[in-house]
Every structure is written in C-alpha cells, then in structure tokens.
Amino acid sequence: MQQPPIPRASAAMVYNDMINENVRANAERSKQIDASGLVPAAVQWTAELRGLKIPIFWVRVERRADRMDRVNVLTDTFIAGGMVARPAVVKGSSAAQNIDELPVQPEDHEILKPRFSPLFGTDLDLQLRARRVDTILLGGISTNMGVESCARDACDLDYNVVVLSDLCWAADRTQHEWSLTKNLPNFARVMTTEQARSLLR
C-alpha cells in the first residue's frame, strides 16, 4: 500500500501527557519506558520538527487537589478499584509538568485537558484551525486512552491523523498493541517516525 505524503505546511505534532506523573513518578514504569526507547525517539523527532517549523502542541492534564473539577462516573474499573478515585495530578505541581527531556519552548503550544481526549473541553481544535492545520501527527501516553481518544475525535472533526507508533506507550502492552493494530487504523494512519519522516513533503 502506497502512503500519501504528509504535508509539512499543514501539519502539527500533538503530544499527549508526556509528563512526570506518567513517565517518572513510578520507578518500574520509568524503567519500562526507558527500555522502550520512547523518550529519545521523541527528543529526536521533536528537534526535527522544530527545524521544519512544524508546530508542537503539548497536551497535559491538571486538576484541583480536591478533584471538584471531576465527577467520579461509574465504570467497571472504578467500581473494581473500590470506588476510590486516583490521586489528582495537581495544577502547578512537578508531576503535571513535561519531563525534563522534552521542555516546552516559547514557540510551542500548551493545552490543558479536563478529560481523556485532548479535543474535549479545550481550544486545541481552534488553535489547530487558526494555523490551518489539517494533519495531526500524534503520540504520547497512553496509547489506548488519551492517544486513541484524540485520534477518534480528530477523525470525527475531519483531521487527517498520523499516529507515530514509536512515540506511543501504554503500561498494558496487550492494550497498546491492540490499539495500534486494531483500533487506531480505523481513525488514523499508523506508522513509525522513520516512515513518517520519509513522507514529509
């Protein structure tokens, strides 16, 4: 299957939740992420995009410490966990900031999302359209949650989405692979950064 090119002039990179809470707060998870090569791949890719003047959007979650900005809706996972909410990633905390390897630059864009999807309750769509973006390059944590939510919503908003598989990670590797191979191809093109690099025009 021959892939259409990726237009540099109308593309933007969207990273989901590349924050300390997800990458560095848990030693075992941090070890797994380091072994995956996610961080150095993202560092290299980000530097290349900056050189090409492709805009970069960092999407991350921040909540009030008392969680009054989040309703604990009933889900199987929530009930199975004893109906105890996960601790909030508190606004302004170190946990809510980008990891040191991927600092936000003045020319970048920061989007604070209130829910799983970067396109729900944020101005991400508005900011992308203001820059005449029609193609979203997408990666981050977690593949089957925030990344997939973004791809689904972006597809419904008529964006072309390119999910960069080596820039995605999830703790559950089965769900990570299922998302990349079964779900995401319905909403996006899934490829590596190497493949995407060869298609940028």
pLDDT-above-90 percentage for the chain: 88
Does residue 33 fall inside a structural domain? yes
CATH of the domain at 105: 3.40.50.850
Does residue 91 fall inside a structural domain? no
CB proximity list for 176: less than 8 A, separation 6 or greater: 142, 143, 144, 168, 169, 170
Q: Which domain holds residue 106?
A: 8-62+98-199
Does residue 1 fall inside a structural domain? no
Residue-level pLDDT at 159: 98
Give the count of domains, the chain.
1
Does residue 76 fall inside a structural domain? no
Over the stretch 115-168, which tens digit does the pLDDT of each residue have? 999 999 999 999 999 999 999 999 999 999 999 999 999 999 999 999 999 999
Over the stretch 36-66, which tens digit does the pLDDT of each residue have? 999 999 999 999 999 999 999 999 998 888 8
Does residue 144 fall inside a structural domain? yes
Computed over every residue of the chain, the mean pLDDT equals: 96
Does residue 127 fall inside a structural domain? yes
Does residue 90 fall inside a structural domain? no
